[in-house]
Structure 1
Amino acid sequence: MSTKYKFNDPEGIYFVSFAVVGWIDVFTRQVYRDILLESLIFCRKEKGLMIHAWLIMSNHVHLIISRKGNQKLEDIMRDMKKYSAYRILKEIKESSTESRKEWMLYLFAKAGKQNSNNTNYQFWRQDNHPIELDFHSNMFEQKLNYLHENPVEAGLVKKASNYLYSSAIDYEEGKGLLEIDVLQ
């Protein structure tokens, strides 16, 4: 069994990236970003997910996470992705204003048919690409900076803390949209 891209240490801190199938720009709409945020908040409060840094871009997400309690990180991530996919797809299907509705549903259905684990639609790519981090290493700081600088590099903002859907504001100025678990 491969150990690449696995949550090997249950007590570890991980940098995790995951994307929408086909890199579809779903999160250009606030309603879909907010559904994802609700799912992360729920997992933080009810499942023991510890979020040390986060970022939602138009078609992918970066997190630095760990866990408290007994739930496995892979189970928390699976549940979060499953629930957020269900809610976002429901919102897309029921929307009377989503101009990309038919196109997105077609692509999600096509991805779902190519995956035997799905019955209808596939929203998220199946990989999480967790990379274990040592809090006291340069790699932790590199991943944190990469995560926060992503919207700056994409030309969306000039300063990382100006991007609303990120924990950069927590690290630079104060409280953002999602409470983070600061590492000491």
Structure 2
Amino acid sequence: MSTCTARVLLCLSEKGLEYELVPVQMSKGAHKQQPYLSLNPFGQIPAFEDGDVSLFESRAICKYLALKHKDIGTDLLRSSSFAEATIVDLWMEVEAHQFNGPISAFIRQIFLNPMFGRAPDEKVIETETEKLGKILDVYEERLSKSKYLAGDYYTMVDMNHIPYLVYFMKTPYATVVTSRPHVSAWWKNVLSRPATIKVSSGMTL
């Protein structure tokens, strides 16, 4: 269910790494209590352990995995090229600071509010959808010149967008993506990756 957990699972799958997924009983508040708070002091999902390394925040976990295992699986950070790695960093900032805000607010209204007995706020949905459209206009221009957002290679930039878009594309607002031909082609491309198919098949809200 968690988009942030899905992001880490995508990274693990792209790298071909074995892992153990440990469920947290959020309905009973286990994420707000010890021992979980010793792993993530903010009481949020996910937390990650690798030997003596303990991390939280999904993007940081993914960067750790990509750097530690840079020689296996998909080269998600383009670490062998300073120029390419810099472009990856740039567009990862775009995802985190431009794209994430509107789409997460949208998903909260459409999916999470009803789960907690609250009606979706149509004004918020309209506002965030408009913001998202303007961001995707920039993506459309970018993707008219390259196959993926950071260049002609799949990277962590593309991967980081996937979890929220999996849910977004199940809504009537999916035309915000499909009406932009280059964005739509990009989405179909990343959606067809084995790692995406594997992880998205288990994503339910």
Higher-helix-fraction structure: 2
* TM-score relative to the length of structure 1: 0.32
User: What's the TM-score, normalizing by structure 2?
Assistant: 0.29
Larger Rg: 2
Kindly indicate which of the two structures has a greater share of residues assigned to strand. Answer: 1
Does 1 or 2 have the higher relative contact order (CA < 8 Å, sep 6+)?
A: 1
